[in-house]
Each structure stands twice: as C-alpha cells, then as structure tokens.
Structure 1
Amino acid sequence: MNRLFTYPTPHKGNITEIHHGHEVADPYRWLEKPEAPETRQFIAEQVALTEGFLAEIPARAQIQARLSALWDYPKYQAPYQRGERLFFWKNDGLQNQAILYVQEGRDGEPRQLLDPNSLSEDGTTAVVGESVSDDGEWLAYLVAVHGSDRTEIHIRNVSSGQDLPEVLAHTKFASIAWLPDSSGFFYDRYPATQAADALYQNNALYFHQLKTDQDADQKVYDRPDNPSLAFPPEISNDGEFIVLRVWHAAISRNRLYYRRTSADGPFVQLIDEPDALYVFLGNEGDTFFLHTDWGAPRGRVMAVDINQPDRANWRELIPESEDAIDSAGMVNNGFYLVHMHHARHRLTLYQKDGTLYREVDLPGLGTLAFLQARSADSYFSFSFQSFLQPPTIYRYDITADELTQLWDVPTAFDPAGYLTEQIFYQSKDGTTVPMFVTRKKDLALDGTHPTILYGYGGYSISLTPAFSPAIAQWVEAGGIYVLANLRGGAEYGEEWHRGGMLGNKQNVFDDFIAAAEWLIANNYTSSAKLAIHGGSNGGLLTAACMVQRPDLFGAVLVGVPVIDMLRYHLFTSGRYWVAEYGDPADPAHFDFMMKYSPLHNVQPGATYPPTLVYTADTDDRVVPMHSLKYIATLQEHDSGQNPLLLRYDTKSGHGMGKPTAKLIDQVADLYAFLYRTLGIA
C-alpha cells in the first residue's frame, strides 16, 4: 500500500454483536470512552498528524488574515422592548462574544448590561439565552461553559447591574417565563442527580422566587410516567395563563397544556396527542391562537376556545397556503406570518379575524430572523440578511407602512461584483429540489472553479440565505458556494421533512448527490474541484455521501457528525433522535439504517476523497466517539493516498456559544485543507 501518510495504528477490539440475524463488528468501541488513556493517546496522535499537515500549507496564514478582516464588522441583533427599556446584543467586530446593551426608551444612550467576555479569558464561557421581565427590571441569563449544552441561570438587576446571589443549575435549553409582576419566573430543569444513562430525562417545571435559593424552588409540574417529556413554559400576552409546549426532544410534534397563573391547580391538557406542531401565539380572553400543521402540512392559524376545546369547534383564521409558515406571532392586535417561499422569506400581516392586512416589502431575497414584536404594539424590529448582505436591523412601523434601517453595517466585503442565483434541479426520484449558488458575476462556467456544496437535510430545519464572512472569503478567492435545500428540512412544510426522515433518509443523500451531479454537468465545477460540507446531521450527510459516491467529490468536510447509527441513541440526548432516524432495535429500522450508516459502509480497499472530520472535546450533543470511530475506520480501510484527517478542538462543543477566535481558526483550518486538496493556488 503506497500511502503518503503514516496513520496511527490503534488496536482493534474483538467485539461482535448479532443484530436481527446480522453479525456486526465494532472493533473501535473503546473509542467511546473519551477519558481513557488509550483514547487520549489516539486523539493526540491524530491531532499531531493534522496540525503537521495544516502547518505545511502556506496559504493558511493568508486565509486567516482575510477571514479576520471580513469578520471585523458590527453585528447586531434586533432590539426588543420591556417596560420602557430597549435591549439589544452587539458585537463590535472581533469580540469573542456579543455584549447585551440596554437603553432608556428609543432615544436613550445605550449602556452595557452584560458582557460575556468578562466571564472567561478566552471567550469560551458564553451567554446562550436570556429573558427580561415585563417591566424591564430583571434579566435572567443562561451561561454555558466550553460549548456544553448544560447551562446555569443567573439573575441580574437591570438598574444596578448587579447579580443576585442565587444560581440555578441543572438546565439544558431552558425556557424562562416571568410572572407579570416580575416577582419570579417559571423554568424547566433536570434533576440534580441522576444516573449517566438517564441524562436529560425527567425534565420538570419549577417556579423560582427572586432572592431565594434554588433549593426553595417549587416544583410545578412533571411527568414521572413519561420521563422523556420536557416542559418549556411561556406566559400569555395578557398574563392570565401559563402555557406549556410539551415536547419530546427533537421531534416537531408536541402537546399543549395550560393553567391560569393565578391558580395552583392541575394543568389542563388542551392537546395531549402529539400528532402535529402546535405553537401558542397568544390569546384574547379564553380564545387561544395557534400556529399548527395539523391537517395542513404547510401550516395554518387556528382559534381555539378553551371552554369548547373539541377540535370540531376550532376555527381556521388563516388557511394553509402554497408557502409553508416558518414562524408566526402576534403584533398590532393581529398576526404576522413569516412564510417560506422556495427557501426564502416573505412577511405578511393579518388582522385578528384572519383577514389579510398587508405584505411587507422586504429588502431583498433573503432571511428574516429575530423578529421582536409585542401583541399590542404597532411596530416591530427584525434582522434581514442574504448571502451578500450582512445581518441588518430594521424597524417597521405598521401604521405608516415604513421600514427604517437602525444601524449601518460596514464590512470589508463589496458585494457589487457577485450574484446569487436560485436553481431548481431534479433528484434521483424526480423530485424538484432548490439550491442557491453564490459566485462572481463574471465567472466563466468552464468547470474549473473550486466549489463548496453545503447541506443539512433533517429535523425540519430549513436552510435559507445567510451572510457569512467564510462564504465572502470563498467567493472573493474565485470559489463558488452552493446551499442545497434538501428533503428533511421544512422549506416546503412537514411533508418535505417527512420525505427525508426514517425510511426516507436516503432521499436526503440522493438530493445532495444530484446537486453535485448537476453542478458538474452544467460546468460550474468538476469532481476534482468539488467539496461537500455539513455539520451535525449535515455531517452524517457528507459522510454518507462520501461512502456512497467516493468518486464524485474532490474533498469532504464532516463536522460534528452522527456516524454510528446503531449506537447513536445510547449517548446523551441521542435517544431523542429516534423519531428522526429510527430505532436500531426495530428490525425494519435496522435494515434502512444499516444501508446508509457511514461507519458500517466504509469499504475495505476503497479510495476515499480527501476528508477532514472535525469535532470537539465538550460536544455533549453529538459526542466525539462518532468522529473518532469514523476516522479510525477510514484510515484502516482506505487504500488511496488522500489525506483522511481529524481536527479535534478543545474547550469547545457542538457549536453553541463558540467564540469568534475559535470560529476563525476553524474556518481557516477547513479552508487551508480545501486549498491544498482542491489545488487552489
């Protein structure tokens, strides 16, 4: 075997199991123990190999310098109002973490309220969520360390800037719902102690009274009979109800319970059949307004009288349309709906009876995010971006029909010479799939251009146009950036999602492969110049595609991936992904999962394209064992001369709260790898 690389040669265990009559070997199961000395040695050897490879790429320093320049622009999130105060996040440019500011009224002078950069020297402690009381006097904020999904809740007085002494632990993705009088809040948390294999089970709803210890918090609701449920709370716009969107992890179907905030009785199970998505938008007295895809896979808005909750009594206010509802809420005593029109956003306003009021002209074809509205206000703010426009904050006055940009966002990227085109192509089964292509306007389509094809395809997560300094750097250098809107997402509603989950998962890979073939056939690029990239479920995507079609790609980036489809459900929150991927204990599920499971489809003697797998030590969502077992298996079985490498970050997790410095370092490494393997000068 004539290899250019000498890979580590880890020992192989002799574990073999029988699954539904099939013998399945798992020689690298020992890599599932991250703290074991032999695992640490394996990681150290892989890191040394990768760092040595990247250090020999002269372009890396230039890439990092340009990325830093492109990253150095002010980044805002849309302001929101509580009481008379306005709150907004801002990053001056290269700060590791954005800072939360507050100002007194629209004309007040902003002042720093919370600077997460002060929580750690290297920016690896992050604030990953916050909630401000209705009077604007109290801030509850969630702190995560090293990218972990685990958080703690701290509480700060907005006037004084001082924290209360109590810290609320044992939270993960917690929601916070303040009482109208700001005396305390409801939040969901996990038990203080539980066995490791029960991690993230037995969620419960608690009430915290300000200026008391967590030990005094009152448990309000739990379901020991169904420990997989979680109970994120919210308070209705009139303060009369506490509403629970009861969910089972990552699935897009939920229950809906409620109770009056003034009562201590049991919760009413308004919807206890998780057969669809049910989102509480607000209420008018005892009438609840819901965004749901029940009976309407692209979504609609319903009115439910809680005194007559039978579905036969529900009233449809806004019917399903050709465009799926991406998000909805209440404003101006009516509704706003953000629709997904071929993977880009439309914004429409409706009166409370469901009558169309107005479609708002957005600044272009792109993505609307962080829309901040209150049900009675005649104005709202939001962020808008595209591949060529950085996130820009706007305020919309409904009465005046006036859109105002709040802040200038100067960047080092000049979009004038670039374009984004949307292309519709045919997948293997004839389904039409959209993709966005961003490139220089004058680029000759001669098949020579290095191209990144990015995808995700799962969990009802839609990919829409978004600005990134990384994309800007890539197209500046003459590359093409492509975003494919694969099945499994929600670009066309729940049917699009279901077309890429469970036994339909192969459709996602077929969609991605078809996108690659279209780009090559139409002379945008060639196999030798085409890289694919995805993270998390998108890492599963790129890993599955590379083992199915190793001839099609010039390089592969596999980020924080799900790889071992027979054991993914045994780690941290993996048990909650069964509704998306399947249960390997089910013979029918085992059959379709084994056909694409990347770990189990690496072929001995095959030649795989240059591959960089990346993960991190504190990723407690998709644990590193997936990446470790995959890279060990690839290096063992590959017979070619292409680099198959592992990037292993430290003090970092799945991606949430990652500091700017680490983001730039990661992209610089990924691009340096692509420059070398795709032959970019």
Structure 2
Amino acid sequence: MKFIKLLLYFIVFQSCVQNISKQDFKEYPKTKTSSETDDYFGTIIKDEFRHLENLQDTTVLNWFKAQDDHAEKFLSKLENQERIATQIRSYYSKDNSIYSKVKYADNGFVFFLKANNKNSIQKLFYRTSSYSNDIELLDPTAFQKQLNREYNINYIQPSWNGNHVLVSLSYDGISGSSLIIIDVLNKKLLPEVITHAEPDSYLGVSWLPNSSGFLYLYIPVLDPNDENYMLNSSTVLHKLGDDPNKRRIVFSSTSSSQITNEDLPIARILSKNDNYLIGYKASVENYWSAYYAKISDLDKESIDWKLLYSLDEKIYADYGYFLGDEFKFISGKEADNRTISSFNLKSKGPKQTNILVHEKKDEVITSLYVANNNLYYTTSKFGVEAFLYEYKGNHEEKIKLPYITGTIELNSSSNESENLYVNMDGWTKDFTRFIYNNGLFSLDPLSNHQTYSEFNDFQVKEIQVESFDGVQVPMSLIYRKDMKLDGLNPTFIYSYGAYGESMTPFFSPIFLNWVQNGGVFVVPHIRGGGEKGDSWHEQGMKSKKSNSWKDIIACTEYLIQNKFTSKEKTVLYSSSAGAVATGMAMVERPDLFKVFIADVPMLNPLRSEERTNNASNYLEYGTVKDSTECMALIKMDPYVNLKPNVDYPASLIISSFNDARIDPWIPGKFAAKLQAYSTSKAPVFLDIIYDAGHEGGDTMEERIKEYSRIFAFAFWQTNHTLKI
C-alpha cells in the first residue's frame, strides 16, 4: 500500500512538471515601460526599463518579489532538483573532517576552520603543532546570538607570535564584517568588536611585528544605497585593547595627491622582520602603483610615504616582497608572460631594475612567495597546467611536483619560515596541501583526505580551438569515459574572460555532479582572462571585448561539430563580469544555445557607472565619458543589444538582493526586457536570493540548493535523463 501511495505521488508530482502549459511561462508579472533615452556621443539608446533601477520604489520592489514568486512557482517543481541535491549532499557526507583557511604562526601554532563535513558550520580551531589535538576557539553560531543572525567565518589571521587570532564574521552576504580578536591560550574574546571592514575582500589584515596590533582597511560607508558607499576608505592601525572607534589613519588619500577618495589605499606589513610598510593604490586591474614608509614611522605622529613604483612600471598586484633593502616582484613590463625582477631602495640616482627570472615561453608567472628567505614562484601553461620554481643564489630551479596539477597556490607564515605550503588543485583531483621543506614534499596533516570514487571514471581533455580570427583558444572538457560522441550530451559551458583572471582547474564535486549525471562540463579559456598572458587579457577588454564572446561561439561550434553536443543540448553559464561575454554570445547567437544561465550577472555594463560606487571597474569595461570606450560599452552590453521578436533560449537569471557588486536592478532589467522580447516558448525566470550577497549563500547547503536548481533547470530544458 505504501508503495502504491508513493507511486501515485510520483506520477502526480511528475505531471505537475511535465504538463505545465508553455503559455503559463509567459504570464510574467507586468511592469511599465518608459521612453527613457540617452544620447551617447550622437548614438541614441532607448532604455525601456530604466525605472527598475530605483530600488527605493515600492512598486519596483513589489515587481521583484512578484518575479521571484513566479519563478518559484515553476522552479520549485523541477523534477530532478531534490534528486540532484541528495546526490551532491552524499559527496559531502563522508566521515572525514574538512579543513579550510589554514594559517600558521611562527610559534608552530596552526589555525583553521573545520567542519565534520562540508555541509555543516565551520568552526575555528587551532593546534599547538601540526600533529597535536584540535582545540576549539569559536563557534560562529554563538557570536551575538541575541541578534538572531547566522554568522559565518570568512577570514582568519593569527598574530606572528600565535598568541592572538583575528576572526572576521559576516552574515547573509551583507557588506561589512565584524572583526573580533581571540586570546588563544585563554580562549577568550577581547572586548573590542571592529566594524566597517571586509578583510576577506581587501588583502586581509597585517599584524605589527611585535603582534601588539594590526592594520586593516576601514570603509566608512558600507551601505550600497548610500551615495558615499566605498568612498574615503583608509588603512588604520588598531592596537589590542584600544577603542575600535578611535582609529589612527596610516594610509589614505591624504598620503599622496595621486590617491583619490574613490581609491582603495591598502597598507600592509609583508613580514615580521621587514623595515618597511607598503601602501597600495589598489584597483580591479592586475597592476597597481605603490608607496613605502618605514615601519618605525608607525610610532610617530605622521608617516613619510614615498613612491615605491608607478602604475606604468607594471608591477603585478600584491606579489612583491622586501628582502632587506631589496624589493623583489613580478613585472609585466615589456614581458607578456611576466618576469621576476628587483630594485634596491637605497640606490642613488634613477631606479635600476634587475631581471632575476626572464619571461618564459607559454608559461605565465602567476604568483611569488618567500620562505626561508628564498623566492618561490608559480607559472601556468594556458591556464590548465601549473609549475613551481625556486630562485636562490641567483639561480632558478624547477621543482618536481608530487603529481601533475592544474593549479598551485603558495603560502608561508613569514619570509623566514622554513616551510612553504603548496596547495594543489585540479578538475578531478581534490585540493591537497603539501609542506615543502629542504627539497622534500610531505602531506600536510591538515590537508583534506577525502576520496571521491564517484569521479574515478572521468576523462579530462585539454584542447585548443581556432576562433573566428585564427587565434587558438584553450578549452577544458570533463566527461565520463563511457560517453558517446553522438551529439546527445547536455553540455554545461562555463566561461568568464574578464579582469585577467584565469579559469584554472578547480575541484568541485558540485560541478562534477553534472558530469556524473551524463553531462559534459566545459571551460573555454576565452580572451579577457589571463591564461595566455597580459595580451590575452587586453584582447578581451574595452573595444576588443567582442573577442571574448566570439571565442565562446567558436568553442561551442567546435563542440557541436565534433558531436560532443548539439544545439538542443547546450547550456551557457557564467556569473558576475563573465556574463558580459556569455550574455553577448547568447544575444548574438541565440540559435546556438538551448539554455542561458546568468548568476549575479553584469548584463548592463553601459549603466555600470550609474551604480552607487563603480570603484575602478571602468578600467576593465571602459567609461561612458570617453567616446571610443563608450561605443565599445554599447557594443558589449547584453541588455542594450537584445532585439524584439527573437527566439531566445530558456533563461534563468539569478540575483542576490544583498549584492553590493552587481546591483539587483542589473539582472532585473535584463530579465524584464528578455521576457518582453523573446518569441520562443521557452521560459525566462528571474530567481532572487534575498539573504545572500555577491558570493551567494554562506553555507554549503545554500550552495547545494542553488546549483541543484541550476542543473535541474538545465537538464529539464535539454530533455536529459539523469545517469544516476
């Protein structure tokens, strides 16, 4: 009898999904249209849904709520959503503890977050040595419990001596964290709680050499709706025990006439024995300008900042170190794949730069760290294979790795640390942490030891595809070994192509679930990223942005021509800035894609500068204030380029309502226009997550729910039957 009831329930439930009238999708919540127009250097652009930018208007807020309700009406009934979620949860239900954000102090203490499995709350622990017992320091659910908030730990940093650890906590994706300090041996919180900071986003905190306090970026206004959002930030010094509201400014727009109130002036202490502070004029781009001052100036009333290097010297972000009076760094000057160079701060006359490691063919230098006072650096070939080198005694040596890997991240507790921590990651190989010491690798006791037999029979294929202009575009494919090249495989195409960021291999059981269920997971390494050096980035930005989406189109056509998939099985996905390229690929070739999914997406870059604070994003997209760049913005804007009476693919547009980077009106406007313009019978849903920010949900369960919905929607629209 129980079986019959379950069978009846399944039949009824499935009929709810499969027998929905396709016309029902079109009963979208209505909103007005307007005749707003803008004149961009003689080019007139009509913006019918400009009113949706006003998130203070209750009618607009009601429309967003109605859109979400409409989406939920259908998405909640997706046939395979709970089945996929259960599958993903099973990957994380193993007995092994999961460690993350591992940080070492000079006294041998090691601090880390731990969860019994990746689906539970991560608590803060420490060990007095790598092999000692775990000692709990903080359960985030107990912090400010009276406020009824679900806090999570997003950043930790121990003091050099290991006596204290700073912890950053946030909730619901809302901008700004609460910083607390724990007295480690006594396991007690210090009384001060610091606000108006986001160390997880802005290079963390820097402890003073004597561990008596730290530097952090103070952001006075963190409300995205405030006109002063992210303006007038400064690096401040906090001494343990001081009133957190009495901030001593260390580095700000007053430190140099070249720093504006829109810039991010981030000062850091790079190692405990350094003589100098470094102050970055940080931006979204890969190359910054920087200043330096003596650390001893922190004891004086004023700090004497001097220019360390200018923007045109092309010194790579925050990968630079003081070794005595020498500054050693990654340089992109006249070197597309970068060099490692140095100069002396005390040399007389013009600055003399010495190249220590010359540019390598087909290998981009990606990071630089110091351990045991030697230099270690990583390179990446086409964004998919990583290498490790050591430089000491004016000699470089390639280090033999434990195995071939796609991604390497390096860490060390200080310049003097004997240990270099080498983190390795790959498409089908789990993130693994090694300790490199005296020429030998050993597995870090705090590395994850979980195995995933579910993914043993997966195939990884790295190829290059000829784009429209003859350029070779790297592309990664992950699929089951038993897959047939018959054009019937649903294919999830995940691309980014912005800010010079490389889509290097990452291990994600969530995305591998797509493969286990019979799909192909594909990452085209398109122009705009950094996979082939700085020129690869430059060829996919501003007036050359069209290369990015044309690379996606070329890669998709390759997949179809070679029978990996077909037009009825293609799913195009990206998030944030990656949606500029994927959005335009879909708009330019709607016939090529069955499904379009955009997660917290930038789909209206032409209006990006109308956000409360555009920060330095105009450096990537361009600005409407420049006629040439403005025309490029118009050309790359998916919202602007949507055309009426076109059969666009089924679309799922996801917005986080607490997103301070991509305002909800950006995906909202795109969804409204796509619903109005598309003549296909495919649905266009605007799915809103009201308690999340740009990074999505804080917990693993929230991420599982989001991606199980994404996959279920994609499998439904590609008419695919799950393999498991």
For the pair 1:664 / 2:685, whether they are aligned, the reply is no
Partners of 1:32 and 1:367 in 2: how far apart?
A: 39
**What CA deviation, in whole Å up to 9, does each residue of 1:182-223 have, x standing for no partner?**
111122212369992232122212111110112322112221
Partners of 1:119 and 1:95 in 2: how far apart?
A: 20
Distance 1:476 1:640, change over 3 A: same
Structure 2 counterpart SS, 1:487: coil
Q: How does 1:27-38 map to 2 (within 5 A)?
A: 27-38=48-59
The equivalent residue for 2:183 is 157
The correspondence for 2:267, drawn from 226, 230, 233, is 233
The equivalent residue for 1:623 is 663
Distance 1:350 1:408, change over 3 A: closer
Residue 71 of structure 1 and its aligned partner are, at CA, apart by 3.3
The equivalent residue for 1:178 is 207
For the pair 1:191 / 2:230, whether they are aligned, the reply is no
TM-score normalized by the length of structure 1 = 0.95
Distance 1:362 1:496, change over 3 A: farther
**What CA deviation, in whole Å up to 9, does each residue of 1:494-530 have, x standing for no partner?**
1111111111111110111111011001110001001
The equivalent residue for 1:430 is 470
Residue 127 of structure 1 and its aligned partner are, at CA, apart by 2.2
The equivalent residue for 1:595 is 635
Q: How does 1:188-267 map to 2 (within 5 A)?
A: 188-191=217-220, 196-224=226-254, 225=257, 226-263=260-297, 264=300, 265-267=303-305
**What CA deviation, in whole Å up to 9, does each residue of 1:332-360 have, x standing for no partner?**
32111110112134343323344123413
Structure 1 counterpart SS, 2:271: coil
Partners of 2:441 and 2:677 in 1: how far apart?
A: 61
Structure 2 counterpart SS, 1:488: coil
Note if contact 2:659-2:692 (Cα within 8 Å) is conserved in structure 1: yes
Note if contact 1:77-1:383 (Cα within 8 Å) is conserved in structure 2: no
Note if contact 1:86-1:103 (Cα within 8 Å) is conserved in structure 2: yes
**What CA deviation, in whole Å up to 9, does each residue of 1:620-671 have, x standing for no partner?**
1111111110000011111111011111002101116621111011001101
The correspondence for 1:112, drawn from 136, 139, 146, is 136
Residue 423 of structure 1 and its aligned partner are, at CA, apart by 1.0
The correspondence for 1:80, drawn from 75, 94, 103, is 103
The equivalent residue for 1:70 is 91
The equivalent residue for 2:421 is 381
The correspondence for 2:609, drawn from 569, 582, 585, is 569
The equivalent residue for 1:277 is 315
Partners of 2:384 and 2:68 in 1: how far apart?
A: 39
**What CA deviation, in whole Å up to 9, does each residue of 1:564-621 have, x standing for no partner?**
2221122144242100000012211121211221111111111100000001110011
Partners of 1:623 and 1:103 in 2: how far apart?
A: 41
Distance 1:310 1:329, change over 3 A: farther
Structure 1 letter corresponding to 2:271: N
Residue 312 of structure 1 and its aligned partner are, at CA, apart by 4.9
Deviates more, 1:596-605 or 1:312-321: 312-321
Structure 2 letter corresponding to 1:164: L
The correspondence for 2:551, drawn from 490, 497, 511, is 511
Structure 2 counterpart SS, 1:339: strand
Note if contact 1:331-1:378 (Cα within 8 Å) is conserved in structure 2: yes
Partners of 2:46 and 2:437 in 1: how far apart?
A: 62
Gaps of 5+ in 2: 1-20
Partners of 1:309 and 1:645 in 2: how far apart?
A: 64
**Alignment RMSD, CA only?**
2.3
For the pair 1:421 / 2:442, whether they are aligned, the reply is no
The correspondence for 1:93, drawn from 117, 120, 129, is 117
Structure 1 letter corresponding to 2:51: W
Note if contact 1:460-1:494 (Cα within 8 Å) is conserved in structure 2: yes
Partners of 2:125 and 2:276 in 1: how far apart?
A: 28
Distance 1:383 1:454, change over 3 A: same
The correspondence for 1:677, drawn from 706, 711, 717, is 717
The correspondence for 1:302, drawn from 333, 338, 341, is 341
Structure 2 letter corresponding to 1:155: I
Partners of 1:192 and 1:241 in 2: how far apart?
A: 32
Residue 97 of structure 1 and its aligned partner are, at CA, apart by 4.1
**What CA deviation, in whole Å up to 9, does each residue of 1:368-415 have, x standing for no partner?**
23534532333222332212122222222334x233353453345433
Structure 2 counterpart SS, 1:197: coil
Deviates more, 1:426-435 or 1:217-226: 217-226
Structure 1 letter corresponding to 2:110: L
TM-score normalized by the length of structure 2 = 0.89
Note if contact 1:631-1:646 (Cα within 8 Å) is conserved in structure 2: yes
Residue 245 of structure 1 and its aligned partner are, at CA, apart by 4.3
Q: How many residue pairs get matched? A: 680
Deviates more, 1:445-454 or 1:158-167: 158-167
Note if contact 1:331-1:374 (Cα within 8 Å) is conserved in structure 2: yes
Residue 549 of structure 1 and its aligned partner are, at CA, apart by 0.6
Deviates more, 1:435-444 or 1:168-177: 168-177
The equivalent residue for 1:56 is 77
Residue 43 of structure 1 and its aligned partner are, at CA, apart by 1.5
Partners of 1:350 and 1:443 in 2: how far apart?
A: 41
Note if contact 2:319-2:367 (Cα within 8 Å) is conserved in structure 1: no
Distance 1:502 1:81, change over 3 A: same
Structure 2 letter corresponding to 1:184: G
Structure 2 letter corresponding to 1:76: Y
Structure 2 counterpart SS, 1:198: coil
Structure 2 letter corresponding to 1:536: S
Note if contact 1:80-1:87 (Cα within 8 Å) is conserved in structure 2: yes
For the pair 1:335 / 2:375, whether they are aligned, the reply is yes
Structure 2 counterpart SS, 1:232: strand
Structure 2 counterpart SS, 1:516: helix
The equivalent residue for 2:12 is none
Structure 2 counterpart SS, 1:527: coil
The correspondence for 2:328, drawn from 289, 303, 307, is 289
Structure 2 letter corresponding to 1:438: I
Note if contact 2:385-2:405 (Cα within 8 Å) is conserved in structure 1: yes
Distance 1:115 1:495, change over 3 A: farther
Partners of 2:403 and 2:121 in 1: how far apart?
A: 28
